């Protein structure tokens, strides 16, 4: 995504929420933007990088991205960072003290919750951070609002001296809508960084004085929220129910119950409790629809406002109309109308027939690695080594836990493979005395949070073998550059990390570090077998690029000579999706047992000629096509 954004000031365009956030930040005069990629927030920075007036960077993790934004804010420039929900866990150490410090120029944290878990290890509600860190939460309901709210957020941040969280969800990030844009207004505080240790140096004596200021600020924000233009009531004729909504749930409720009164909270923390109380007085029953945790609900109940929420609505996933309708029908003791219009119960008639049948006729397609992925050989080897416990990490290589490799035993969060491996080593019981402990981690994950774990392993003399899969990109999130690729966010050259030297610096003995080509199976096997037997920390670095990077070179594909294929299935254990079964046969072995054979072919369009599968083929039935044009 390297093109310069062509949208003129004042134009209208169909934009995703992510693009709209980048546009809004740019118009607000934001000078610095930093992020670590993660679905669903990744594209925010990709779009931001198209605006030459903003400094943008891929940071090595979310904590660093927030710290970069904090530094820029202190220096007098508006700044933001973007991350997925789990990223804010990583960045939270910085956030929890920054909220005590306050800001210089406007500081915004755009955080995207993967509601419905389309691509995450868990589901979280980032609105908790508003309560925890005493900072305001803005929640857009569509792309236009995402654009408008981030613009507003910078001003709010300066007005109250607080970081502001813009809470997005997968739907807001990825769904496109028309966004009417404006002009960029340059912004810079008159003075740059002002030395002020009482504000910026958080030793206990200084922090203690600032904590009451943080609470005063929260009280002021609470009052402000009551009159914020982002919070409003949309009246409706059917007063049987009134809905409290925030973020995307406003759209869902409006679609499912067009005649009901709705209070829409765009400024959802601190919530405007008096406004909600007034609203509640005008309806028969109050329902709060929030994704995903009952935060507003708990607060409303604590304020003495009778409300229904998670008793009837799920505490996970999107609260889309097809989820809302049956739950609300139950609440009203009515029968759900799923078909044609029903004049008597208009609020319960679906406006669009979506629901449960979508997807019923789709083929199941479990996630798998790409054809020729350099991770394939690694998992092929790992699946053949006995007596292992393998701690995994987060990236494309997490798929090694699945079929046909089944070669990952744990996956927790980014970087955890290291500490978990050490814990498995130190905590092993007698029966596991000879177990080989292996940790698997990708290059980006290693730089994100794995390096510290490796240092911990060497420092504590762990008997662990680490596989560091350097494919020169952040494969899982779409191939962003990182220090392993030697290119920055604009694709320009930048210093490339040397993993061998880095591991050495982290305390791994030079003779225990090997760099291997993951397509060279015999070497990889040998390296693994040898290293797991040596009771020291060792690292095997693989050095072949992701097949999706632009500098990957394909070769002529391979094909299977049918008359030589014995159906042994060895090549299938590689797990390459370019290899497929054409025929299965069951034979009786000399010992009387049944054996299943599978005869295969190779999809020549998908095969990149990586040379992996021929190395698994005993009868040499896999041969390279002599002349081939793609």
Ligand X SMILES: Cc1ncc(C[n+]2csc(CCOP(=O)(O)OP(=O)(O)O)c2C)c(N)n1
Of 133 and 467, CB closest to ligand X:
467
Q: Cβ 37 to ligand X, closest distance in Å?
A: 5
Q: Are 507 and 494 in contact (CB under 8 A)?
A: no
Q: Cβ 469 to ligand X, closest distance in Å?
A: 6
Of 370 and 613, CB closest to ligand X:
370
247 vs 268: CA distance, rounded Å = 8
Residues forming the site for ligand X (CB under 6 A): 36-38, 84, 86-87, 90, 121, 394-397, 414, 442-445, 469, 471, 473-477, 546
Q: Kindly state the tokens that stand for 101.
A: 């410090």
Q: Are 558 and 614 in contact (CB under 8 A)?
A: yes
Closest residue to ligand X in the complex (CB): 442
Q: Cβ 227 to ligand X, closest distance in Å?
A: 36
Of 327 and 497, CB closest to ligand X:
497
Of 266 and 415, CB closest to ligand X:
415
Q: Kindly state the tokens that stand for 12.
A: 């209208």
Q: Cβ 142 to ligand X, closest distance in Å?
A: 24
Output the CA–CA distances (angstroms, integers) from residue 9 to 26, 142, 184, 185, 532, in the order listed.
Answer: 11, 20, 8, 11, 60
Q: Cβ 468 to ligand X, closest distance in Å?
A: 9
Of 181 and 465, CB closest to ligand X:
465
560 vs 297: CA distance, rounded Å = 62
86 vs 58: CA distance, rounded Å = 17
Q: Are 492 and 467 in contact (CB under 8 A)?
A: no
Q: Cβ 128 to ligand X, closest distance in Å?
A: 16
Please count the helices (runs of H) and the strands (runs of E) in the chain: 19, 22
Q: Cβ 394 to ligand X, closest distance in Å?
A: 4
Alpha-carbon Rg for the chain, nearest whole angstrom, is 28
Of 17 and 87, CB closest to ligand X:
87
Of 402 and 614, CB closest to ligand X:
402
Q: Are 109 and 126 in contact (CB under 8 A)?
A: no
The C-alpha angle with vertex 519 and arms to 515 and 523, in degrees rounded to 5, equals 55
Q: Kindly state the tokens that stand for 26.
A: 């740019």
444 vs 22: CA distance, rounded Å = 24
Of 242 and 442, CB closest to ligand X:
442
Helix or strand holding residue 262 (H, E)? strand 262-265
Q: Cβ 529 to ligand X, closest distance in Å?
A: 23
Nearest by Cα to 584 from 567, 570, 572, 571: 567
């Amino acid at each position: 995504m390297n093109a310069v954004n062509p949208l003129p000031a004042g134009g209208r365009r169909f934009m995703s929420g992510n693009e709209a956030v980048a546009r809004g930040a740019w118009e607000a005069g934001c000078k610095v933007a930093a992020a670590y990629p993660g679905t669903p927030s990744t594209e925010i920075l990709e779009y931001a990088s198209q605006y030459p007036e903003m400094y943008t960077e891929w940071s090595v993790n979310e904590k660093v991205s927030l710290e970069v934004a904090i530094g820029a804010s202190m220096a007098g420039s508006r700044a933001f960072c973007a991350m997925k929900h789990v990223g804010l866990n990583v960045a939270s150490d910085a956030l929890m003290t920054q909220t005590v410090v306050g800001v210089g120029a406007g500081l915004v944290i755009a955080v995207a919750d993967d509601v419905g878990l389309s691509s995450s290890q868990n589901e979280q509600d980032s609105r908790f951070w508003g309560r925890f860190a005493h900072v305001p939460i803005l929640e857009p309901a569509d792309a236009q609002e995402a654009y408008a709210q981030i613009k507003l957020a910078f001003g709010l941040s300066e007005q109250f001296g607080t970081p502001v969280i813009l809470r997005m969800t997968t739907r807001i990030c990825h769904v496109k809508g028309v966004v009417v844009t404006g002009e960029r207004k340059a912004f810079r505080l008159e003075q740059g960084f002002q030395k002020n240790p009482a504000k910026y140096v958080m030793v206990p004596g200084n922090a203690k004085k600032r904590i009451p200021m943080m609470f005063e600020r929260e009280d002021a924000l609470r009052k402000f929220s009551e009159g914020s233009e982002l919070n409003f009531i949309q009246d409706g004729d059917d007063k049987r129910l009134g809905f409290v909504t925030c973020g995307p749930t406003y759209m869902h409720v409006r679609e499912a119950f067009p005649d009901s009164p709705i209070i829409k909270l765009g400024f959802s923390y601190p919530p405007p409790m008096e406004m909600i109380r007034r609203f509640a007085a005008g309806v028969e029953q109050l329902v709060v629809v929030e994704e995903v945790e009952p935060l507003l609900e708990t607060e409303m109940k604590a304020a003495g406002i009778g409300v229904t929420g998670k008793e009837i609505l799920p505490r996970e996933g999107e609260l889309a109309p097809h989820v809302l309708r049956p739950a609300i029908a139950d609440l009203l003791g009515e029968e759900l109308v799923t078909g044609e219009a029903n004049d008597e119960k208009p609020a319960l008639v679906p406006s669009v027939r979506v629901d449960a049948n979508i997807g019923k006729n789709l083929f199941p397609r479990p996630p798998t690695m790409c054809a020729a992925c350099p991770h394939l050989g690694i998992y092929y080897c790992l699946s053949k080594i006995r007596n292992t416990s393998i701690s995994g990490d987060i990236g494309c290589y997490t798929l090694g836990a699945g079929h046909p490799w089944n070669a990952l035993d744990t996956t927790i969060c980014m970087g955890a493979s290291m500490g978990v491996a050490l814990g498995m080593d130190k905590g092993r019981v007698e029966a596991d005395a000879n177990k080989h402990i292996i940790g698997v981690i990708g290059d980006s994950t290693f730089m994100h949070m794995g390096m510290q774990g490796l240092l911990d392993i060497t420092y504590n003399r762990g008997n662990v073998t680490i596989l560091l899969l350097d494919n020169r990109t952040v494969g899982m999130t779409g191939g962003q550059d990182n220090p392993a690729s030697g290119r920055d966010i604009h694709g320009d050259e930048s210093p490339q990390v040397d993993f061998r030297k880095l591991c050495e610096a982290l305390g791994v003995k030079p003779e225990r570090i090997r760099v291997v080509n993951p397509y060279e199976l015999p070497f990889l096997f040998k390296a693994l077998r040898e290293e797991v037997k040596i009771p020291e920390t060792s690292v095997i670095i693989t050095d072949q690029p992701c097949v999706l990077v632009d500098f990957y070179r394909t070769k002529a594909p391979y094909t299977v000579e049918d008359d030589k294929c014995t159906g042994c299935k060895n090549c299938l254990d590689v797990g390459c999706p370019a290899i497929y079964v054409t025929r299965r046969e069951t034979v009786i072995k000399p010992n009387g047992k049944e054996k299943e054979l599978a005869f295969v072919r190779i999809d020549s369009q998908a095969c990149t000629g990586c040379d992996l599968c021929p190395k698994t083929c005993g009868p040499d039935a896999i041969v390279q096509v002599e002349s081939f044009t793609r």
